[in-house]
Structure 1
């Protein structure tokens, strides 16, 4: 029996909250990358913080959106280990992409390589997160939508990495984060349209089988990381400094195609 699926079981609350998480992660990733370029002696630390923040933002976006995911007539459960593995994968892949552009610059080859690595990480995270679902039925995907979502994700990841090493003014990075939030959240919901579920039987649903409690526990850690990272960035002296007012011109990352200093 083909199940009736809803991605908006709580109305607009979950997509809005998911968008906020994606935007927050993107904003922190951009601002931390700016710090890393202005302060090369602490570059690795800032890139690591940015990667963890961006990765947690993407992961939190996915699983907050999944709070609104419901299958009529079936109980949804999640495998804890696969859920945690999806978080590790996205952070590692985002870190690989950010460190690559942070140290090698924004040449087309570097951006393309970093974008593919990061995009693959996001797609793998989504796949692991969906594979973690335990339901009395089988999940099936429309291959055309999956391919489109995969390509779209790589484009988003490449654009995000380009913005990270190219947009350094506060307001331009905020604007880029708002756009990236739409793109990343949209990517999730586009990918979810590929899903169909064949139920093997009808399940009695009660509070004990609800996925809400499990997801809230899983989200607590990444949300705490985003809060800590936001505090670090907000209280950094550079937060409201204009173009190069404090630290002057930072060196351009090796391999960058930009001749002008980072501002």
Structure 2
């Protein structure tokens, strides 16, 4: 479908990740139940839209010439649940408190990057073709490295800056993690077609993607509204010691 599909998939990823990282920044200064709510909104934005929806939009370009491609709907929804859940765990590690140690950043980047991979390869598990699908292990390893490094960089940006323009930079970097991992993972795919095999079971991607796209758009209204109405994170930061606000990038444990 050409380069426009890559651009559209990347744009969707950037939107989801930018809103999610904005929610993550708010979570770092919230307390109690409010913190968990912000982290849940961030996980839905990043895991549900920035990763999961981006993946299936990009999969519109995956075809087997002259043969059908179908998706197991149960595994497809499982990939969404795993994506959101894994991102949520990563954000719990990263957003425990306003102060953070480097190990928190590295651990959260690792978990979040692996969440991207978990979603991708679970989503690929849902793909059924007339034949079988294998992978080049070297490219799979590269896709994991891309996701982890870029996710860690995006979280670092989120912790270090509180300027709206640089939040978009963080979202763009996270979008690179997702789309870069996706297309590297797709380059690792080795499809072995068998014309004698029965037609694959499942649904066409178009049959479920459009309603999911609409649902995702409606769901994104919640975190977007929350971010717009929330006080700036710098104003929400609790005072420390003599009343000075705690620096976002403090490296204590």
Q: TM-score range by the shorter chain?
A: 0.7 to 0.9
When the two chains are superposed, the root-mean-square deviation of aligned CA atoms in Å is: 2.9
Q: Deviations over 1:158-206 (max 9, x none)?
A: 222223322222111112212332332122111111112111107999x
8, 14, 32: which one pairs with 1:23?
A: 14
Question: 1:20 deviation in Å?
Answer: 1.3
| 2:72/2:203 contact within 8 Å kept | no
Question: 1:84 deviation in Å?
Answer: 0.5
Q: Deviations over 1:114-138 (max 9, x none)?
A: 2222222211111110010111111
Cα distance 1:180–1:82, how it changes in 2: closer, same or farther (>3 A)? same
| 1:97/1:161 contact within 8 Å kept | no
Give the 3-state SS of the residue equivalent to 1:152 in structure 2.
helix
Give the 3-state SS of the residue equivalent to 1:70 in structure 2.
coil
Provide the C-alpha distance between the structure 1 equivalents of 2:186 and 2:107, rounded to a whole number of angstroms: 26
Question: 1:37 deviation in Å?
Answer: 3.1
Could you say which residue in structure 2 is the equivalent of 1:34? 25
Give the 3-state SS of the residue equivalent to 2:95 in structure 1.
helix
Provide the C-alpha distance between the structure 1 equivalents of 2:167 and 2:238, rounded to a whole number of angstroms: 18
| 2:148/2:177 contact within 8 Å kept | no
Report the TM-score when normalising by structure 2: 0.84
Cα distance 1:67–1:185, how it changes in 2: closer, same or farther (>3 A)? same
Question: 1:109 deviation in Å?
Answer: 1.6
| 2:71/2:127 contact within 8 Å kept | yes
Could you say which residue in structure 1 is the equivalent of 2:154? 160
**Alignment size in residue pairs:** 243
Cα distance 1:176–1:117, how it changes in 2: closer, same or farther (>3 A)? closer
Q: Which moved more, 1:194-203 or 1:126-135?
A: 194-203
Task: Please state which structure has a larger fraction of its residues in helix.
Answer: 2
| 2:9/2:54 contact within 8 Å kept | yes
Give the 3-state SS of the residue equivalent to 1:196 in structure 2.
strand
Provide the C-alpha distance between the structure 1 equivalents of 2:247 and 2:122, rounded to a whole number of angstroms: 34
The question of 1:91 aligning with 2:51 is answered no
Provide the C-alpha distance between the structure 2 equivalents of 1:254 and 1:175, rounded to a whole number of angstroms: 17
| 1:103/1:253 contact within 8 Å kept | no
Q: How does 1:13-162 map to 2 (within 5 A)?
A: 13-40=4-31, 42-56=34-48, 57-104=50-97, 105-162=99-156
206, 221, 227: which one pairs with 2:221?
A: 227
Question: 1:98 deviation in Å?
Answer: 0.9
Could you say which residue in structure 1 is the equivalent of 2:243? none
Unaligned runs of 5+ in 1: 1-9
Question: 1:83 deviation in Å?
Answer: 0.4
Question: 1:209 deviation in Å?
Answer: 6.6
